[in-house]
Structure 1
Amino acid sequence: MAENEARGALSGLSQRERRRIEVRGIVQGVGFRPFVWRLAHQLDLAGFVRNASSGVVIEVEGKPDALDRFETALRSEAPPLARIDSIDRHSIPPSVCGEPGFIIPESSGGEAMQTLISPDIATCPACLADIADPAGRRYRYAFTNCTDCGPRYTIVERIPYDRPFTTMKRFELCPDCQREYNDPGDRRFHAQPNACPACGPKLELCDAVGVRLAVGDEITAAGELLAGGKILAIKGIGGFHLAVDASNEAAVRRLRSRKGREEKPFAVMVRDLAAARALCDISPEEKAALASPQAPIVLLRARQGLSLAPSIAPGNDRLGVMLPYSPLHWLLLREGPKVLVMTSANFSEEPLVADNAEALERLAGIADAFLMHDRPIARRCDDSVVMSMAGAVRLIRRSRGYAPAPVRLAESGPPVLGTGGELKSALCLVKGGEAFMSQHIGDMKNYEAYRHFDDVAAHLQRIFQTEAELLVHDQHPAYMTTRWALEQGKPTLGVQHHHAHLASCLAEHQHSGPAIGLTLDGAGYGTDGTVWGGEVLIGDAARAMRFASLEPMPLPGGDVAVRQVWRTALGWLHRSGVSPEGLECFRQPQSAQVLELLRKEVGTSESSSCGRLFDAVASICGLRHEARYEGQAAIELMQAAGGRIAEAGYRFGFERKPNRWLMLISPMLRDIAAAVRAGASSTEISRHFHRTLVGIFSEITRMAYLETGLKTVVLSGGVFQNQLLTETLARELESNGYQVLMHAQVPTSDGGISLGQAVIGREFLRGSYRGVDN
């Protein structure tokens, strides 16, 4: 009998398999191990799961069909904060089978742990259910979270990612929360921000000078203030918002006046998807982006006749919309107005406010009241912005919800830090085979922005346990990011702005190049000392050739013309041999003086900028003569086309210079001036203008192909936020057999160039960097 029992036991073991599974990606600190533990118990499997230097290691045994289902579920049912880059599986001899159960042992201490900090993630449905349950202990609790959601990056002070090293360290877990934290079967197992009303952060509502208001419920009282037209400063996940009732025009205008934000559109936060649909047309991709764990601001096509305040997005046919991504926001939108303007809490061009005392000081005179809490924010982090364009959801601003999740690179290499540009600044640290983009930092125009930049640079290297061997900066000598790099006492490299654009897009697509790069933006310092911005570069991260550029034109007053776009119009008409008399751009104050300077060739700089071309055309056709925010004239010119493009364009040409081709735009400018004098509308001009650009860049791409044989084309630079131009040009290029690469994971604007800088820096360290041939 004993012999039969032994034979039966061996037979049972022979039907079992054991597998070793190594999972790489963002799988630490995101609830992945308890997910594996629960999955193994559901399928009656034995073994263990533990953190390792490269990710997570699992050894699991059981019946083959159960193991197959286990492996499938690892990908299909992974926690929302997890990102799986690879799964490797190896069979283990059956002789080692026989473990009694499945456990989570302590992580190995004998090897250095790879630290990947998850981005902050919107509140999950399970936590929303907890908040809405009157019988639950987290009913209406504004700081509810679990391993599937809540703050991560913004609360991390240093690694490892454990509660004592986050801003939650001052909040000692109560017995109930501690039990959840210790239980692998609970969704709050090792959730570092775990808390409840008994032991966690608390709200306070203060008046304009910081005196706490005696109210029964802070959220209810805050909702009443908003409904009464007050401006409320609200402390969220990555910083403060300034909020007002989006239907109250007087309140929105008051916010604009106090914040110093003349016309730049505000974003709104709505109660739910149904409220978003009432405001905007929403495609399936846009719906998915709105409801995603990242919960970005999505730029949506606004419906006609909205009941919102007109001054939220004046002259703009799109509306930035987001859903509530924290319990506080979710509760507030059920107590107060259904739609709130939610804009970053700062005065114009200053960094986002994140600290309570800082908020009371810097927002004095702007906010009427403050809804604050006592959980410190370690890393200020703006809302991310996305847009659906050319078949994909593309990042316009990469910040909360995305930073610091890595972008996978084609190759590994030494650590390098790219410092970005002057506007839309963001850093990028490349380490191994991954690129870690920082959150959006903003425009480097003041000391506060410089301090924030310095803090983010140090923090990024600290949490990823590396020190950059090289700092790569823009070649512009006056950029604050350039000055910062040169002051660090480390090896540095200056790279050309548009080369960084090209390299960034190639790196995002893991394309080693070379490629034809159409790099179009407002301004970038050229190797010849002029302002570039309408460039065709051919090359890769190691080297590029300036194959062509837009015809250089004068900018009267230099940077002044970026805001007073009528100056650009006068300068470009003058160079094109067109008198501006009779056109609106000639009726602006000081236009006669500017023309005299142009005749004398005094006080101007040369520019091949495509962004400035948009400005000039917008002013020539009388659409806009002064830009209140960056890109305003270009946006309004695109919108004037009404989403349509003409069948035929204006005239253009090409001229061969000793070192490059010039794409001649003076014929087009002469045609546009003539069309305006003949009574053409801005809509008609915009449609023909966009068709002309498509023609110019399609033809120069063909010319580059004939010279090089390359069929891969990169579209990069802020101009490619223009949906009409981008989608039409991409379709035309693809129909002609080109492979078109566009940004999606990182912004096409200057917010993405730090990635290109960093990968160029690696080429420099390898000894293969040759720069840009002018």
Structure 2
Amino acid sequence: MYRILINGIVQGVGFRPFVYKIAVELDLKGFVLNSTNGVQIEVEGSEDSINTFVHRIKTELPPASIIKEFTFEKHPDKNYQNFEIKISSKTAGSTLISPDLAVCEDCVNEFNDPKDPRFQYAFINCTNCGPRYSIIENTPYDRPFTSMKHFKMCDYCKDEYTNPLNRRFHAQPVACPECGPQLKFLDKTFREVEGDPIQNTISALKNGKIVGIKGIGGFHIACDAANYETVEELRKRKNRPHKPFAVMCFPERIQDIVEINNEQLKLLKSPAAPILILPKKNKYLVPKLNLGTEFESKSIDDSFPNSIWEREKREYLIAPNIAPQNPNIGVFLPYAPHHYQILNKDLPFLIMTSGNFHDEPIAVEEKELIKLCDAFLTHDRHILNRSDDSVIRASESQNIMIRRSRGFVPTPIKLPFQTKQTLGAGAELKITFSLSKEESLFLSPYIGNSNSKETLDFYIETFLKYKKWFKLEPELIACDLHPDYMTTRFAENLNLPLKKVQHHHAHIAAIMAEHHLDEPVIGISYDGTGYGTDGKIWGGEILLVEYEKCERLFHLNYMPLPGGDAAIKHPIRIAFAYLSKFGIDISFLEDISDLEKNIISKQLQNNFNVFQTSSMGRLFDCVAAMLGLYPEISFEAQSAMALEFLCQNKPVFEEEFYSYNIDDQIIRIKNIISEIAEDISKNTAPETIARKFHHTILKFTLDCVQKAYKLSGTKKVVLSGGVMQNEVILEGLKFILEKNGFEVFLPSELTPNDGSISVGQVMVANRNV
């Protein structure tokens, strides 16, 4: 007899039926069992059959399963008479939990089959798909420990659930119209409306209403993507004047609105079903019309003539104010069954944006959205663990994870070395936490982007659940250096051994961990804000990094940031301060009042409420404001994104670059700013200035990395920080560094932004105990 223990994503993904089926086919005896130590198998039979059994388990995995550990030990025979699936054992230990999975093709086919008992049933699922993370209360993953415990299976569902050869064998959320959850349509006062909930939803959307739709990990706020006025109203309610919305549609309609290749479509169709940011298709606004040169000379955003929009708006596929002044748009496919019911030929494109107020956690109850929605499509299956949609940006060499949440959490990350049981508390933006033990790290979903009470409550709630599920009691805490971060205060209040980790050290350490690097690397960390060891705001950093230590080799020279966060929201103030610092004429600056100029000038003279920063993000803000792009922003990185978008039509390496100096380990930017101002005075095209600016960053970064190589002897370069979400910078650095013989490591499973800070904190803390 052989005893096999398997750890990984092996619960809630059809793993036990999969094992059972192979064992029966090979005439093996024994059992398979879910336990909190993983999946346990005891198997008897011929050596050849058992070897075949092991090989098939490893090579024929169910689509959503992942094996992290596989142990195989020989024991005395117990003379089993058959092979069975035993009831799960709730014992000490831990196991892994599957992410929520998009509805699979088999279920979609049954969903659309009028002869099937689950025809058009909004909660159809099987062992290969459906809710997992969002419904789990405790481990092991069995129905009594999920929110499905409130729904008693009917005989039909029970027969499938207990049939080892059925696709729904031990599918914990299994249900049908007779015994499972049900949809309801509520009006704004939460009163149930008579009639079919789906038809009521479709009718409301077609009539320009904004509807809260309860999904798997939380609510979406939905509206007709072709209705310009409704999109505007949604922007007003969410206080979101410019930030793009995501659009959901069927796969056959994706190519009508974005440029997409087969690999990207495959990612959209994957069990994770993320939002993928792709280039807009140039013609998607006007598929049926020839509006002549008046329209064709305009960009495809909200800058086209209003008269044309008013006259022909019903002929556009989607409204241009969904992603204004942006060449890209986020798209995703229906991933819950009721999404397939709502989308139809008269409503082919839906805005499906996160059901929350600005930067707050995603809502799981209707009452949280009373000020945002006209009606609600909801249901009675409780969401126990909220998670927002994951977001990925398509890039030339590899995709960039922007937000790691639904479909990915809580899949563990394997670490390059053993750790103590450790909490990485995270940062202040893109908040996550990480819990580690041994060589596994469990990264939380995206928590939020603010320090509100709601965000803190969600953070603590999820932290306590992770501790319970994964049997973790932190003995070491790591947090950011910044004394005023919510996450720092939380970490300090735990009264456990605490290691404070510099922000950019954590950025690079996270991506080192992803690639299992455990040696000195050159780290390029470009972002907006990170508290430095000198108490100043860092963000334009080239570092020599090990987990144990971090040496600052080069950085942008410190520049004044008058008013701190207030200046970040008003990039024109940053431009004024930078130009004033260098004594450059500011008369060309528009969109700044005389009052603002006087106040900032006095601040600079008296050094009152002026912060010093080496931030690359702020340099982007300065240049964008100099060009007249968003003197005031409504969402993070808006002006920097606009500067990137100006580079779209021509490679930046084909442009010249601005002059700069590197001395005393400082990248001096005075000439860059001065020469940009000179170009503006010559009426140089903004697109040319933007490309020259990007080329300059690539050029001085290469110079610094080459100097860093001479100092350190390493040619391994790790890129991280929010600026690495800029495709021109990320792809440009990868190209120019590899061309010069460096080995470049990019974020892939992890985000380059602050969503991965908690991972790096864990790594650094464990090497500095």
TM-score, normalising length from structure 2?
A: 0.92
> Do the aligned partners of residues 199 and 97 (structure 1) sit closer, same or farther apart at CA in structure 2, a change above 3 Å counting?
closer
Matched, 1:183 2:163: yes
* 1:225 counterpart = 2:231: no
SS at match of 1:191: coil
Aligned to 2:639: 633
1:468 Cα deviation from its structure 2 partner: 0.9
Do the aligned partners of 1:583 and 1:677 also contact (CA within 8 Å) in 2? Answer: no
Q: Which amino acid aligns with 1:331?
A: Q
For 1:317, the equivalent position in structure 2 comes to 327
**What secondary structure does 1:411 align onto?**
strand
Counterparts of 1:17-56 in structure 2 under 5 Å? 22-51=5-34, 55-56=38-39
**What displacement does 1:541 show?**
1.6
Indicate the residue corresponding to 2:446 in structure 1. 440
- Out of 318, 333, 347, the position equivalent to 1:308 is 318
Quick check: 1:238 aligned with 2:217? Answer: yes
User: Measured at CA, do residues 54 and 210 of structure 1 come closer, stay the same or move farther in structure 2, by a change above 3 Å?
Assistant: closer
Q: Give the Å deviation of 1:764.
A: 3.0
Contact 1:285 1:393 in 2 (8 A): no
Task: Write the mapping of 1:563-712 to structure 2, written as runs, cut at 5 A.
Answer: 563-584=569-590, 590-642=596-648, 644-647=651-654, 648-656=656-664, 661-712=665-716
User: 1:628, CA displacement in angstroms?
Assistant: 1.1
Residues of 2 paired with 1:373 and 1:319: CA distance?
A: 30
Give the Å deviation of 1:68: 6.0
Q: Distance in 1 between matches of 2:595 and 2:351?
A: 35
Q: Residues 24, 366 of structure 1: CA spacing in aligned structure 2 closer, same or farther, 3 A cutoff?
A: closer
8 A Cα contact 1:404 1:437, kept in partner: yes
- Residue type at the aligned position of 1:163: R
Partners of 1:674 and 1:367 lie apart in 2 by: 49
Report the equivalent of 1:393. Answer: 399
5 Å-filtered alignment, 1:285-300, equals: 285-300=263-278
8 Å contact kept, 2:36–2:140: no
CA distance in 2, matches of 1:692, 1:42: 64
Give, in whole Å, the separation in 1 of the partners of 2:232 and 2:243. Answer: 12
Match of 1:353, SS?
Answer: coil
Which residue of 189, 208, 212 maps to 2:188?
Answer: 208
Counterparts of 1:351 and 1:96 in 2: how far apart (Å)? 53
SS of equivalent residue, structure 1 residue 683: helix
* Structure 1 position 331, deviation (Å): 1.5
Equivalent pair of 2:100/2:272 in contact (CA under 8 Å): yes
Query: Closer, same or farther in 2 for the Cα pair 1:47/1:168, shift >3 Å?
Result: closer
Moved more, 511-520 or 185-194: 185-194
Contact 2:4–2:40 (CA under 8 A) maintained in structure 1: yes
Match runs of 1:269-418 below 5 Å: 269-270=248-249, 272-305=250-283, 306=285, 307-334=317-344, 337-355=347-365, 359-360=366-367, 362-418=368-424
The CA distance in 2 between the partners of 1:28 and 1:371, in whole Å, is 30
Percent sequence identity is 41
Hey, what does 2:483 align to over in structure 1? 477
Q: Is the 8 A contact 2:11 2:141 kept in 1?
A: no
Task: Quote how far apart the aligned CAs of 1:85 are.
Answer: 2.6
Within 1, Cα distance between the matches of 2:115 and 2:375?
31
Contact 2:88 2:142 in 1 (8 A): no
Measure, in 1, the Cα distance between the counterparts of 2:473 and 2:346.
Answer: 47
Structure 1 counterpart of 2:117, one-letter code? R
**Superposed displacement of residue 99, structure 1:** 6.2
| Residue 124 of structure 2 is aligned to residue 144 of structure 1 | yes
1:58 Cα deviation after fit: 4.2
Q: Which amino acid aligns with 1:322?
A: F
Structure 2 match to 1:3: none
For residue 389 of structure 1, report the CA deviation from its aligned partner: 2.5
Displacement of 1:67 in angstroms is: 5.7
Residue 542 of structure 2 is matched in structure 1 by 536
Verify the 8 A CA contact 1:266 1:312 in the aligned structure 2: yes
Letter in 2 for 1:724: V
Q: Give 3-state SS (helix, strand or coil) of 2:159's partner.
A: helix
Does 138-147 or 290-299 show the bigger shift?
A: 138-147
8 Å CA contact 2:4, 2:71 repeated in 1: yes
How many angstroms apart in 2 are the aligned matches of 1:43 and 1:340? 49
- Structure 1 CA distance for aligned equivalents of residues 410 and 386 of structure 2: 13
Alpha-carbon shift at residue 97 of structure 1 (Å): 11
Q: How much has 1:79 moved relative to structure 2? A: 1.4
**Residues 670/257 of structure 1: CA separation in 2 closer, same or farther (3 Å cut):** same
Partner of residue 14, structure 1: none
TM-align CA RMSD: 2.2
**Residues in 2 aligned to 1:560 and 1:53: alpha-carbon distance in whole angstroms:** 49
1:167 to 147, 150, 156: 147
Give the superposition deviation at 1:54: 5.1
Is it true that 1:85 corresponds to 2:85 in the alignment? no
User: 2-side partners of 1:586 and 1:53: how far apart?
Assistant: 61
C-alpha distance in 1 between matches for 2:185 and 2:159: 31
Work out whether residues 659 and 672 of structure 2, in 8 Å CA contact, stay in contact via their aligned partners in 1.
Answer: yes
Q: Distance in 1 between matches of 2:691 and 2:598?
A: 30
Alpha-carbon distance change, 106 to 165 in structure 1, aligned in 2, over 3 angstroms: closer
Separation (CA, whole Å) in 1 of partners of 2:170 and 2:602: 70
Q: Which residue pairs with 2:307 in the alignment?
A: none
* Cα distance between partner residues in 2 of 1:128 and 1:334: 15
The whole-number CA distance in structure 2 between the counterparts of 1:585 and 1:577 is 20
Which secondary structure state, in structure 1, belongs to the residue aligned with residue 652 of structure 2? coil
User: How far, CA to CA, are the matches of 1:260 and 1:590 in structure 2?
Assistant: 25
* In 2: Cα distance, 1:73 partner to 1:532 partner: 52
What CA distance in whole angstroms lies between the structure 2 residues aligned with 1:114 and 1:601? 55
Secondary structure of residue in 2 paired with 1:685? helix
Query: 2:519, 2:531 → 1: CA distance?
Result: 23
Change (3 A) 1:679 1:69: farther
Secondary structure class of the residue paired with 1:254:
helix
Seen in structure 2, the aligned counterparts of structure 1 residues 390 and 58 have a Cα distance that, compared at 3 Å, is farther
Give the aligned residue type for 1:196. Answer: C
- Aligned residue among 107, 123, 128 for 2:108: 128
* 2:466 maps to 1:460: yes
Where 1:187 maps in the other structure, the secondary structure is coil
TM-score scaled by structure 1?
Answer: 0.91
Please tell me whether the aligned partners of residues 361 and 458 of structure 2 are also in contact (alpha carbons under 8 angstroms).
Answer: yes
1:524 to 519, 530, 548: 530
Quickly say closer, same or farther: Cα 1:354–1:483, change in 2 above 3 A.
Answer: same
Q: Secondary structure at the match of 1:251?
A: helix
